[in-house]
């Protein structure tokens, strides 16, 4: 008898993960910078964006296939880079890689990932992308880049929104750090979650596998300020594959990144984990789209919790959408089965949302699918009204096509 899935939404997964994971681990996943306002705002701003239902449209045969950076994916979705996924579940990385194969979706291995880059690419049948954090020096960073290239990665993401790791109050309270130093409070926390603790010990305590090849241990709080414009230029010259820059939220930065020959920009505020006063990522997306023009590739994450959010992000200018925390919640809640249920929910939601708004193909989702309560207000549109968006999406200048 097959077990009925117990995850029907990101919130289900979050609640179940909170029960199953030690508080220190759950807080590491859920936590954010400061008072965690930006993290909440990322989600709540999605609720302010409405879609326009359409009737009697030709939606009998719908497809979620999405072409991005020269490749077809089954969904407009991927899994965002997240460090130390095996803390959520001892086999999280293999289950993420399996999801890549099953769903034909890109998944990202972080520099701070808990599996090696060769393994992850093999498990995911070549679908993994590698995410780079600047580490220690340009030389050390380029060693990592060269290892990723030698392993066969075709897509590299440089994350630039962590010049310094923010203070995350939950982590400080819980004494969470890497390398991990057990405190009595942490040991009590683990003892109260024996299932997680035993399976984690059984599979080996996770450790970052890719940060440095210099023999030094990973320091989560080390400065990453070396990821500057010179570094990006040098990285572009060195990396022959697709290059994505993650963590861009300003139009000026976006234009400069584009001018350096980067293949795509990943609009994200790191899930509110870096700057608590950052604007909601979804509010920044149409602004970046306007800056870079209609055809420059954009990815998006931060606050995406269901398929309707995915459709809204695409309507506001994203070509591809990445899921972050919900993946770790689902893995923490129910391992690989949890992740599969979550992805099923996303895929169904995207498909059913498209049916409601009269859209049969992902590439047909645009600003016209958004609802505006005051479409033609004389003195000004609503922030997200179609006229504003049409203006917002008009390019400042056409991007050079590569």
Ligand X SMILES: Cc1cc2nc3c(=O)[nH]c(=O)nc-3n(C[C@H](O)[C@H](O)[C@H](O)COP(=O)(O)O)c2cc1C
Alpha carbon 99 to chain centroid distance?
A: 15
**Closest approach of Cβ 218 to ligand X, in Å?**
11
List residues near ligand X by CB under 6 A: 28-29, 42, 80-83, 110, 112, 131, 159, 246, 268, 270-271, 301-304, 324-325, 328
- Residue 112 vs 257, nearer CB to ligand X: 112
Neighbours of 36 (CB within 10 A): 17
Please report the sign of the dihedral spanned by the C-alpha atoms of residue 326, residue 327, residue 330, residue 333: negative
**Closest approach of Cβ 243 to ligand X, in Å?**
14
**Closest approach of Cβ 116 to ligand X, in Å?**
15
Is there a contact between 39 and 56 (Cβ–Cβ < 8 Å)?
no
- Residue 297 vs 326, nearer CB to ligand X: 326
**Closest approach of Cβ 377 to ligand X, in Å?**
32
- Residue 38 vs 359, nearer CB to ligand X: 38
- Residue 302 vs 372, nearer CB to ligand X: 302
Kindly name the residue from 89, 203, 230, 270 that is annotated as catalytic. 270
Measure the CA angle with vertex 72, ends 303 and 74; round to 5°.
Answer: 60
Please report the sign of the dihedral spanned by the C-alpha atoms of residue 364, residue 7, residue 105, residue 251: positive
With tokens 């179940």, the residue in question is 16
- Residue 76 vs 83, nearer CB to ligand X: 83
- Report d(CA 47, CA 215) in Å as an integer: 46
Ranges of H-type helices in 86-216: 92-103, 117-123, 138-151, 169-174, 184-191, 194-203
242-248 and 264-267 beta bridge pairing: parallel
Q: Is 149 an active-site residue? A: no
Q: Most distant CA pair in the chain: distance in Å?
A: 66
- Report d(CA 256, CA 160) in Å as an integer: 13
**Closest approach of Cβ 249 to ligand X, in Å?**
11
Report the catalytic residues.
270
């Amino acid at each position: 008898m097959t077990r009925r899935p117990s995850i029907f939404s990101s919130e289900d997964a979050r609640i179940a993960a909170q029960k199953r994971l030690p508080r220190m681990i759950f807080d590491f996943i859920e936590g954010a910078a400061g008072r965690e306002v930006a993290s909440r705002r990322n989600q709540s701003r999605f609720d302010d964006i409405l879609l326009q239902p359409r009737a009697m449209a030709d939606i009998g045969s719908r497809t979620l296939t999405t072409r991005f950076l020269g490749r077809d994916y089954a969904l407009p979705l991927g899994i965002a880079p997240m460090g130390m996924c095996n803390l959520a579940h001892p086999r999280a990385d293999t289950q993420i890689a399996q999801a890549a194969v099953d769903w034909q979706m890109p998944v990202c291995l972080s520099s701070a990932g808990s599996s090696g880059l060769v393994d992850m690419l093999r498990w995911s049948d070549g679908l993994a992308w590698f995410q780079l954090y600047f580490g220690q020096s340009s030389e050390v960073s380029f060693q990592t880049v060269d290892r990723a290239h030698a392993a066969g990665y075709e897509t590299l993401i440089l994350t630039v929104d962590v010049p310094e790791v923010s203070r995350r109050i939950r982590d400080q309270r819980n004494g969470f750090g890497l390398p991990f130093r057990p405190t009595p409070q942490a040991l009590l926390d683990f003892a109260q979650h024996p299932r997680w603790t035993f399976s984690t010990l059984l599979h080996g305590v996770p450790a970052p596998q890719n940060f440095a090849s210099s023999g030094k241990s990973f320091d989560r709080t080390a400065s990453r300020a070396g990821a500057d414009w010179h570094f990006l230029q040098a990285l572009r010259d060195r990396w022959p594959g697709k290059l994505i820059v993650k963590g861009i939220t300003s139009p000026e930065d976006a234009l400069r990144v584009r001018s350096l020959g980067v293949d795509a920009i990943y609009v994200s505020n790191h899930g509110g984990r870096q700057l608590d006063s950052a604007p909601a990522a979804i509010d920044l997306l149409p602004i970046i789209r306007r800056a870079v023009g209609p055809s420059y590739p954009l990815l998006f994450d931060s606050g995406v919790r269901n398929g309707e959010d995915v459709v809204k992000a695409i309507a506001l200018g994203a070509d591809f959408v990445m899921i972050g925390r919900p993946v770790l919640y689902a893995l923490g809640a129910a391992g690989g089965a949890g992740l599969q249920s979550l992805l099923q929910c996303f895929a169904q939601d995207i498909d059913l949302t498209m049916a409601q708004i009269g859209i049969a193909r992902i590439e047909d989702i645009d600003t016209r699918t958004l609802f505006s309560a005051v479409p033609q207000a004389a003195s000004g549109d609503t922030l997200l009204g179609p006229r504003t968006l049409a203006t917002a999406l008009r390019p400042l200048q056409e991007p050079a096509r590569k």
